[in-house]
Structure 1
């Protein structure tokens, strides 16, 4: 076992793009809305306006597919100068429904890692997004029994994690978070003196990207596959 992990009692896992595929479906949906709105704007402009709308709506709607659907509808209305057809609005809603009905595709090695680590550590799921959607995905994943505790957070900032650790009654040094987002799964943990491992996914939502300045001086482990965690914690 690596020395920095010798005091770990609880391991937290992010869900989307750490345990199962998620962001890929958002990219596919963005291509679909670009096609639907191609009479009004270029793909790049549609993409820019959709992201701006998502950021504007984030404090109101939070994260997840449902918030994304509402932002897509609003962008369609604005870019069309409110001339968008009912048929196109219906098509946008169907994009969202299809996203919510996607099968859960586990990433490589997930069940192997959870099975092995659950023998020695308390495992928790710490994710953000829409509660109903995350509960649905977790149930479909077949992974529920590996987790001692499941937390769907409104956000993943330092105070959210500190509240979680208080609830679990552990010190930051006893907690390890594993996830694909530097912004949500790594940096906030380092800032409260907890531990974090970064497992990048092949695509990242622009909102989750961080600058080199934000990571400068931060010490964390980066791995290419979740299966590498087993060797780190032996």
Structure 2
């Protein structure tokens, strides 16, 4: 059944891997640190241990590159039995700095879509991660002018979205969320009785993946590109 969006007044957009490239840089960094740690373990074990460390540290560091770098260092120390050199630790720090200095690469159709939709709807940016890094990317992106409100959340649970919508005085029935992560951008909003549009990115962090059972029966639209969003809303 075709969904109707005539009641939508406010559209929320995720940032990383919805507006611009992000996860690709994490995958590249993982490959670099695996090469660096090759004398100690296999690439598969290093990848598994890094993911385990990231999840363990999420409550302390939250999401973002800085927490990722700290987890890489802690993983490297443990896998090497604390024998890793200062030079190698320095190289891990350089991997993180390189990530923070990456250019902001907009995804296909993003700016044109935001420009058109900002004429008919109130747009807000809802992302999570490190505040300074997200502000940097938004400034470099040139997209700031299209948003009425910017929100950097510590996490994207139903409770976070519910508080934000209440703060902005937006009814769930008048809100649409657009993002690449079913876990963070889509399912929480569906559960709040808001609308949601999934625009998948070609790679997704393991922690953000959901199985078919979790998404089965949930009502949301899926698009190949943000370019299709305006037509969906018509």
| TM-score, normalisation: structure 2 | 0.99
Tell me: CA distance 1:3–1:212, structure 2 relative to 1, closer, same or farther (3 Å): closer
Q: Following superposition, which runs of at least 4 residues in structure 1 exceed 3 angstroms of deviation?
A: none
1:233 Cα deviation from its structure 2 partner: 1.3
Q: C-alpha offsets along residues 25-76 of structure 1, whole Å, 9 cap, x if unaligned? A: 0000000000000000000000000000000000000000000000000000
Figure out how many residues of one structure are paired with residues of the other and give that number: 233
Unaligned runs of 5+ in 1: none
| 2:217 is aligned with 1:217 | yes
In the alignment, which residue of structure 2 is the partner of 1:53?
Answer: 53
RMSD of aligned residue pairs (Cα, Å): 0.7
CA distance in 2, matches of 1:216, 1:138: 33
In the alignment, which residue of structure 2 is the partner of 1:200?
Answer: 200
Q: C-alpha offsets along residues 74-96 of structure 1, whole Å, 9 cap, x if unaligned? A: 00000000000000000000000
In the alignment, which residue of structure 2 is the partner of 1:179?
Answer: 179
In the alignment, which residue of structure 1 is the partner of 2:122?
Answer: 122
Match of 1:82, SS?
Answer: coil
In the alignment, which residue of structure 2 is the partner of 1:67?
Answer: 67
CA distance in 1, matches of 2:232, 2:57: 39
CA distance in 1, matches of 2:170, 2:64: 29
| TM-score, normalisation: structure 1 | 0.99
Tell me: CA distance 1:194–1:85, structure 2 relative to 1, closer, same or farther (3 Å): same
Q: What does 1:1-234 correspond to in 2, within 5 Å?
A: 4-234=4-234
Q: C-alpha offsets along residues 101-160 of structure 1, whole Å, 9 cap, x if unaligned? A: 000000000000000000010000000000000000000000000000000000000000
Match of 2:123, SS?
Answer: strand
Q: C-alpha offsets along residues 185-214 of structure 1, whole Å, 9 cap, x if unaligned? A: 000000110110000000000000001110
Unaligned runs of 5+ in 2: none
CA distance in 2, matches of 1:188, 1:12: 13
1:4 Cα deviation from its structure 2 partner: 2.2
